Amino acid sequence: MSSILAYDLGAGSGRAVVGRLNGNRIETEELHRFANDPVQVGDRLHWDILRLYHELKQGLLKAKHQGIEVASMGIDSWAVDFGMIGANGELLGNPYHYRDRHTDGAMERLLAEVSPASIFDRTGIQFLPFNSIFQLYALKKARSPLLREAQRFLMIPDLLRYFMTGEMASEFTNATTTQLYNPIDKQWDSQLLKWIGVSESLFGPIVQPGVLAGELRPSLMEELGVPAIPVYAVAEHDTGSAVAAVPALHRSFAYLSCGTWSLMGTEVDRPVITEQARELNFTNEGGVNGTFRLLKNIMGLWVLSETRREWEREGRIYSFPELIALASQAPAFATYIDPDDDLFLPPGNMPERIRSFCERTGQKAPSEPGELVRCILESLALKYRYVLELTEQLSGQRFDGLHMVGGGVQNTLLCQWTANALGRPVWAGPAEASAIGNLAVQWIARGELADIWEARRVIQGSFPISVYEPQDVEQWENAYGEYLRKTGLSKA
């Protein structure tokens, strides 16, 4: 039984997970877990990329010290953010965090120059103010020295893979999230790059998940005392890896990857690039096997995490189980938010922003912690129903239930309320879907699993899946109509 290693980096933490394939069962072991804290320097918010690289090395050292011979490894992370490599092969500055304010107004300015239809028709990607296209446009308009000196653009997993191997390549699932990749031409879109004034020479070859992208560079092998481990380009967008791990047995399925962000959609063979998809602000991100993930980004548990962080700043410390217990005791269906309102995107005082949204929409603002948490979780569950129904419209499919994966499945109240809001069952698990999908792509590439469908069957048999049947359907049906009216989504 060989051991392989998945590095799974999220917006708040990262982990190194060892996977072993034992017949038709997957065994996983968390080898190393570490914080991923952004760093504020002056007015700028950065990722601490060299700290992340240090933590990847710690994962290899822990494997070595435990006598684990790592047969291969892969890295997945969040999307859209990137680093720039200079002429000497070194990193130019710390990558910006997607929540940094340097992109404020950039999307609106570019869309005043280039029509949204022109961009969507070339990419099929949802308009979000922090997409790579708008980050690069902002850098260009600010006359950033980064663009003057850069020789290569590398997204976060590509960059870390380059640190480890010395090889530079852009992986497909993450490249699509930039809003600079043309899925019809299957390459970086030269016209879009021309429109934002960025050189096409920055963008290197694009490789598919499962391609062998290099092996550990000699200097790293010497530093750590480890052998030449093969490094695969997996589905390097963490949602791409999470969807690869959805334990679906039928080709038509709906998924919700639930964490800091909630990403809901379905898997399709070809991107859905239509006027309706653009108007509904859906996206077509790359998947494994050349598929696409027709989905919509939803703000997700970021709103709850940032609410809890604000209370911690005030000296009020609550564990997540305590907050869930308080929410379950608070009055039902009292107030609603649209978690995707621009108000909730930046870091800051989230309880105050929730109250501001409620006052703006003619609702009584929640004040107690339980009321605020209940408002967030009920609103998320109801927004999931809204997006699932839009997904069905765009894909022409009807889904019997929802596969829910990611860390959010540990929030059993949210899982149950999601089933209630949908009026359909929710199949929750696995929680570590991104790491498991990362491992699965490596096993397929190594010839140990035949394809993604065999991988999904094995995943289903290896990890517990909790089933949530809908309850209190009539009350939730009434609440859904009220939610649409009070948030203004009924007019969308």
pLDDT in tens, 183-227: 999 999 999 999 999 999 999 999 999 999 999 999 999 999 999
| 192 & 261 share domain | no
Residue 123, in any domain of the structure: yes
Mean pLDDT value of segment 320-324: 94
Residue 205, in any domain of the structure: yes
What pLDDT, on a 0 to 100 scale, did the predictor assign at position 396?
95
Q: What contacts 117, CB < 8 A, 6 or more positions away?
A: 275, 278
| 61 & 101 share domain | yes
Q: What contacts 417, CB < 8 A, 6 or more positions away?
A: 377, 378, 381, 476
Helices (H), 245-368: 275-279, 302-313, 320-329, 350-360
What's the distance, Cα to Cα, between the start and end of the chain in Å?
53
Give 188-206 as a DSSP string.
E-HHHHHHHT--GGG---E
Contact status, residue 422 vs residue 468, Cβ threshold 8 Å: no
| 47 & 34 share domain | yes
- The first and second tokens of residue 352, run together, are 């105050």
Contact status, residue 94 vs residue 171, Cβ threshold 8 Å: no
Count CB neighbours of 362 within 10 A: 7
| 143 & 279 share domain | no
d(CA 71, CA 19): 10
What pLDDT, on a 0 to 100 scale, did the predictor assign at position 185?
97
| 356 & 297 share domain | yes
* Residue that terminates a domain, selected from 213, 236, 259: 236
Angle between helices 412-422 and 369-395 (to 10 degrees): 50
| 112 & 123 share domain | yes
Q: What contacts 41, CB < 8 A, 6 or more positions away?
A: none
Residue 36, in any domain of the structure: yes
Range of the domain at 34: 3-236
* Residue that terminates a domain, selected from 206, 236, 266: 236
| 140 & 284 share domain | no
Residue 131, in any domain of the structure: yes
Residue 317 parent element (H or E) = none
pTM for this prediction: 0.95
**What's the number of domains the chain is made of?**
2
Which is nearest to 199 in space by CA: 145, 140, 115?
140
- pLDDT (tens digit, 9 = 90+) per residue, 332-349? 999 999 999 999 998 899
| 87 & 208 share domain | yes
Instruction: Give how far the C-alpha of residue 177 lies from the chain's centroid of Cα atoms, to the nearest Å.
Output: 10
Instruction: Give how far the C-alpha of residue 287 lies from the chain's centroid of Cα atoms, to the nearest Å.
Output: 13
| 157 & 46 share domain | yes
| 371 & 484 share domain | yes
Residue 453, in any domain of the structure: no
- pLDDT (tens digit, 9 = 90+) per residue, 271-309? 999 999 999 999 999 999 999 999 999 999 999 999 999
Which is nearest to 36 in space by CA: 50, 45, 47?
47
What pLDDT, on a 0 to 100 scale, did the predictor assign at position 288?
97
Mean pLDDT value of segment 317-345: 96
d(CA 376, CA 350): 11
| 124 & 216 share domain | yes
What pLDDT, on a 0 to 100 scale, did the predictor assign at position 322?
96
What's 100's domain CATH number?
3.30.420.40
- Percent of the chain exceeding pLDDT 70 equals 100
What pLDDT, on a 0 to 100 scale, did the predictor assign at position 492?
60
Residue 26, in any domain of the structure: yes
Active site residue 238: yes
d(CA 269, CA 293): 9
Residue 442, in any domain of the structure: no
> CA geometry: angle at 252 spanning 249 and 253, to 5°?
75
| 311 & 203 share domain | no
- pLDDT (tens digit, 9 = 90+) per residue, 400-426? 999 999 999 999 999 999 999 999 999
430 prior amide bond cis, ω within 30 = yes
What confidence category does residue 465 fall into, taking pLDDT thresholds of 50, 70 and 90?
A: very high
- pLDDT (tens digit, 9 = 90+) per residue, 230-281? 999 999 999 999 999 999 999 999 999 999 999 999 999 999 999 999 999 9
Catalytic option among 8, 158, 238, 340: 238
Residue 82, in any domain of the structure: yes
* Residue that terminates a domain, selected from 184, 211, 236: 236
- pLDDT (tens digit, 9 = 90+) per residue, 78-127? 999 999 999 999 999 999 999 999 999 999 999 999 999 999 999 999 99
Residue 465 parent element (H or E) = none
